[in-house]
Structure 1
Amino acid sequence: MGQPHSQIQQRRTRSGRVLPIVIIAIFMLLLVAGVLPRLRQSQARSAEQSTATDVPTVFTETVGRDTADTELDLPGSIAGLHETGIYARTNGFVKSLRVDIGSMVRAGDTLAVLDMPDVAEQLRQARASLEQVEASAGLARSTLARWKSMREQAAVTPQEFDERQAAANVAEANVRVSRANVANLSEVLRFGALIAPFRGVVTSRTIDIGGLVSAGAVTGNRPLLTLVQIDTLRVMLNVPQSAAAMVRVGQRADVAVRELGDTTFRGRVALTSRAIDPLSRTLLTEVHVTNPDRRLLPGMFAHVKFTVPTAGGGLRIPSIALIVRADGTQVAQVVNGKVRLTPVTLGRDFGTSLEVLSGIAQGAELVVNASEQLSDGMVVKAIARGKAPAKPAP
């Protein structure tokens, strides 16, 4: 017998409902099978990046043994080869002023002229006094000549003649004194002209026409003018004790000023103090440098570079790799991804680099510009100085 029509219809209805559910279930299984592995990979990559982010990055430089000549770079101060204050030798008033600041003068040029009425009056009195004593001396000489004639005739006693002789001698001495006084006042009057002692430039002026000036360089008395020789300059610098033995008189030294760009001025070591300052442990050194175009100015801050031989090819580290803490002088090595703080013994200071005598070996990786948070045993990611860090994979 055949099934009723209603039962057949119910079976068809159930089949129509089950099929979509099966299709959805299959789709979900496929989706889970494809997404979950990718999700796990993404989570693992995020964890790796998070771990890498937690590890601090440091820049390193490899320690090498230097066999080439070393450049010693030291700061210095530029000054004129000669510098002097011009003072008045006597009191007076400024009659004329022939220079101002910035004026170039030659040796022997007149810088200013002073009017000294007191000295002029004293000179007039001295000349009048000289005329008086010369007249007295003339009378004494004439009297002595007459007394000589009378002595020959035995008309006077030896005592009386000796008295006239002494009077004539005193008169002659008075003449010499008066002449010396006149000469002295004449010389003082010539001091009214202020003369340049050497070729140079006027760098300061404290007087004006009509102003009263005082004699001498007494305490609190400023110079009337200041003169500086700038054709040749001297650079004063302090050489550390560790490098003092390498500096020699006559040695070449290159002088540079940052504001003048890449221009270098060649100079020579002119002299040293030949003694180490016990307070600063430095050797005072003077470098002379010619300044024909006068671009270098007294008072400028300069850098002086010496080329010195490196004895024995010692180890060299950059100055920025040095760590100075309460427990001593150290460097931070990177060994197997970890920081190792190592005490070192330093030798010569070359300015931007240092000589290391003991504590580390050639080829060691040193952290440069180490932070205060860097500690012994810390895990770090080392990147060679000058190289950009690698970008993470997408």
Structure 2
Amino acid sequence: MPEAPVPDPHQLAAEMRPASPRRVGLILLFGLVVLAGAGAVTWNSRLAAQKDLHEVAVAAAVPSVRLIRPRPVEPRPLLLPGRLQAWAEASVYARTNGFVARRLADIGDRVRTGQTLAVIDTPDLDQQLAAAEAALATARAQRDLSARTAQRWNELNERKVVSQQATDERRGDLAARTAQFTQAEAEVNRLRALTGFAQVSAPFDGVVTTRAIDVGGLIVSGSTSSPPLFTITDMSRLRLYVRVPQAYTGSVTPGVKAQFSVPEYPDRTFTAELTRTAGAVDPQSGSMLVQFTAENSAGALKPGGYAQVRMELPSQTGKAQLRVPASALIFRANGTSIAVMDSDGKVTVKPVSIARDLGADLDIATGLEPGDRVIDSPSDAIRSGDTVRPARG
């Protein structure tokens, strides 16, 4: 085994000597510096913790809210069914009895005002007219004779040859004969007027859409239970009737144009202009009847047909509507409102009017501006002037 080293006596003596005062002071000074640094670190940490705690308390006192921007609503076309009707339509009936002698028009024919459609043979009426004219001639002769007789009796009465009673009787007879003549004359005029109805004429320019007679057919006047002889339709212009829901009636004003299509021309679009409105909402359907006018000089559109109408209705306020989630709405006793936050974090509760309820979203007509920052799902206790802060994330 190797031998252990022998310690140096001089080294042992140096290690056993006491440290000098200067060295001890340096050691104490270093310890104080270390303790002061540790204390400063501890104090700063405590101050930072208190500051963070204060900020958390302040932040907890100001509620955080989620902000949304209202979206402008693009004008959406209103699609509604419509019904086309002729500008004018007349059912032509007979005004006299007889048989159809000639038929001069058929369905699809274009006719002019006053054009003869059919001629009716009226033998009975002709005989009645002849008898009435003979009765008129008799009444005229009797009136003339009574007039001459009354004149003579007036002259005799002036000379006191005949009595006043006899003269008055002659005057009364003249008045009666004159009335009989007037009655006979009126009967002749009536029958002559009926004779004029033997020619069935078109009341206006149009197209024959129905015909219920043919040559030799019996005509009985004064009966509306039987079908009309002809139906004349003016289809140079058409009326387009549409029922507009009440929510859109405020935007329906004269001059609004509509585009519509019909099943027979699926690839074509026609234009109509609003000309009249009923001015009242039907309580059963909740809609208002409006009338558009469509030009149809080419005759492509058919009266009585169905149409799909597309209307671009302007905003009632003249401004674009804004869309927000339904969760942003506040229901108060004074109406519906929405809370917005300004740049300083202050709340303003604005009353709004709803243009359309889409379920999850609402279209706001008035009360909001495009740059407003809307508070989503606001507290029921929120009021104007409250301070809030935007939620992070």
**Same fold by TM (over 0.5)?**
yes
CA drift of 1:356 comes to: 2.6
Aligned equivalents of 1:260 and 1:316: distance in 2? 40
Tell me the residue number matched to 2:256.
251
**Separation (CA, whole Å) in 2 of partners of 1:205 and 1:312:** 54
In 2, the alpha carbon distance for the partners of 1:179 and 1:361 equals 77
Deviations 1:276-322 (A, max 9, x none): 111111111111111111101112211222211245424499xxxxx
Distance 2:279 2:161 in 1: 79
Q: Hey, what does 2:345 align to over in structure 1? A: none
CA drift of 1:359 comes to 3.8
Structural mapping, 1:281-320, within 5 Å? 281-310=286-315, 312-315=320-323
Is 1:145 the equivalent of 2:146? no
1:217, distance to aligned residue in structure 2 (A): 4.4
Q: Specify which of 140, 152, 168 is matched with residue 174 of structure 2.
A: 168
Preserved CA contact (<8 Å) 2:206 2:234: yes
Alignment deviations for residues 157-207 of structure 1 (CA, whole Å, 9 cap, x no partner): 111101101111111111111111101110011111111111111111111
Return the alpha-carbon distance in structure 2 between the equivalents of residues 100 and 186 of structure 1.
Answer: 28
Q: Tell me: CA distance 1:361–1:83, structure 2 relative to 1, closer, same or farther (3 Å).
A: closer
* Residue 125 of structure 1, CA deviation: 0.6
Determine the structure 2 residue equivalent to 1:50.
Answer: none
Q: Is the CA contact (8 Å cut-off) linking 1:314 and 1:357 kept in structure 2? A: no
Alignment RMSD (CA, Å) = 2.4
| Alignment correspondent of 1:155 | 161
Partner of 1:192: 198
Unaligned runs of 5+ in 1: 1-63, 318-346, 349-354, 363-394
Instruction: Give the TM-score taking structure 1 as reference length.
Output: 0.63
- Please point out which of 262, 267, 275 is paired with 2:267: 262
Matched, 1:356 2:357: yes
What amino acid does structure 2 have at the position aligned with 1:259?
A: E
Q: Which amino acid aligns with 2:98?
A: G
Are residue 114 (structure 1) and residue 128 (structure 2) matched?
no
Residues matched between the structures, number: 265
What is the aligned partner in structure 2 of residue 79 from structure 1? 85
- 1:307-353: CA deviations, max 9, x gaps? 11245424499xxxxxxxxxxxxxxxxxxxxxxxxxxxxx77xxxxx
- Quick one: distance in 1 between partners of 2:324 and 2:123? 71
Among 231, 236, 256, the alignment partner of 1:231 is 236
Output the amino acid matched with 1:313.
Answer: Q
Give the aligned partner of residue 246 of structure 2. Answer: 241
Deviation at 1:68, TM superposition (A): 3.3
Post-superposition shift, 1:138? 1.1
CA distance in 2, matches of 1:357, 1:265: 30
Higher Rg of the two aligned structures: 2
1:1-394 equivalences under 5 Å are 65-218=71-224, 220-310=225-315, 312-315=320-323, 355-356=356-357, 359-360=360-361
Question: Distance between the aligned counterparts of 2:265 and 2:175, measured in 1?
Answer: 72
1:100/1:65 Cα in 2 relative to 1: closer, same or farther (>3 Å)? farther
- Alpha-carbon deviation of 1:76? 0.6
Deviation at 1:93, TM superposition (A): 1.0
The amino acid that maps onto 2:217 is: G
Q: 101-110 vs 65-74, which deviates more?
A: 65-74
CA distance in 2: counterparts of 1:274 and 1:295, whole angstroms: 30
1-structure distance, mates of 2:192, 2:206: 29
Aligned partner of 1:294: which letter? G
Does the 8 A contact of 1:276 with 1:283 survive in 2?
yes
Q: 1:250 to 1:214 in 2, by over 3 A?
A: farther
* Gap regions ≥5 residues in structure 2: 1-69, 326-353, 364-393
Quick check: 1:316–1:356 contact (8 Å CA) kept in 2? no
Q: Partner of 1:231: helix, strand, or coil?
A: strand
Q: Give CA-to-partner distance per residue, 1:248-278, whole Å, 9 cap, x none.
A: 1232222322431332222211211111111
Q: Give the Cα separation in 2 of the matches to 1:271 and 1:108.
A: 30
Q: Distance in 2 between matches of 1:150 and 1:284?
A: 78
CA distance in 2 between counterparts of 1:361 and 1:179 reads 77
User: How has the CA–CA distance of structure 1 residues 66 and 74 changed in structure 2, closer, same or farther, with 3 Å as cutoff?
Assistant: farther
CA distance in 2, matches of 1:113, 1:245: 53
Q: For 2:241, what is the secondary structure of its paired residue?
A: strand
CA distance in 1, matches of 2:78, 2:360: 23
Distance in 2, Cα, partners of 1:305 & 1:204 = 32
How far apart, CA to CA, are the structure 2 residues paired with 1:203 and 1:210? 21
